[in-house]
Amino acid sequence: MKLTLKQVYDSKLAVERMLALSPAPTVKVAYKMARNGRALNAVMRDSSEAIERVRADYMKAVIGEDGEARMEIPPEREDDLEVEIDEMLAQTVDVDIRVITEEELLACEDKRPGFDLSPVILYAAPFMFGLEGDDEEPADES
């Protein structure tokens, strides 16, 4: 599935909440949730390393009022860094997401009384459920 890096980062909350649901979903859905979480986390790990490398290039050693040396991003370069990070987050990446269908979610509700997938999860990661986000472009399924 093609997602922007921003969609991947925005889905972090949904993944965390899905993996902590109680009562748990069916084994089939739990497997897909865990697998999708690992796929998204791998992309986040890679992009986080890239952001940290870029951020390090913007850092400059300064001496604080206390006389201690520290590394910080000069205020005049903060906007440049933000633009560079925004450009990176707009990049599209392929993520191997297994869509969890409405039928699978309904089966969870039937088999696990009290199972409830909150709207927060659906809103944060609509692509994981075959839905389109309200303010995002539709994610293509590969």
Residue 123 domain flag: yes
Residue 137 domain flag: no
Residue 39 domain flag: yes
The answer to whether the CB of 56 falls within 8 A of the CB of 70 is no
pLDDT in tens, 93-132: 999 999 988 889 888 888 988 888 878 788 888 888 888 6
Task: Determine if the pTM surpasses 0.75.
Answer: no
Domain of 34 in residue numbering reads as 2-129
Kindly report whether the peptide bond that precedes residue 75 is cis, defined as omega within 30 degrees of 0: no
Residue 138 domain flag: no
Residue 140 domain flag: no
How many structural domains is the chain composed of? Answer: 1
pLDDT in tens, 64-91: 788 888 888 888 989 999 999 999 999 9
Residue 19 domain flag: yes
pLDDT at 93: 93
Average of per-residue pLDDT values in the chain: 84
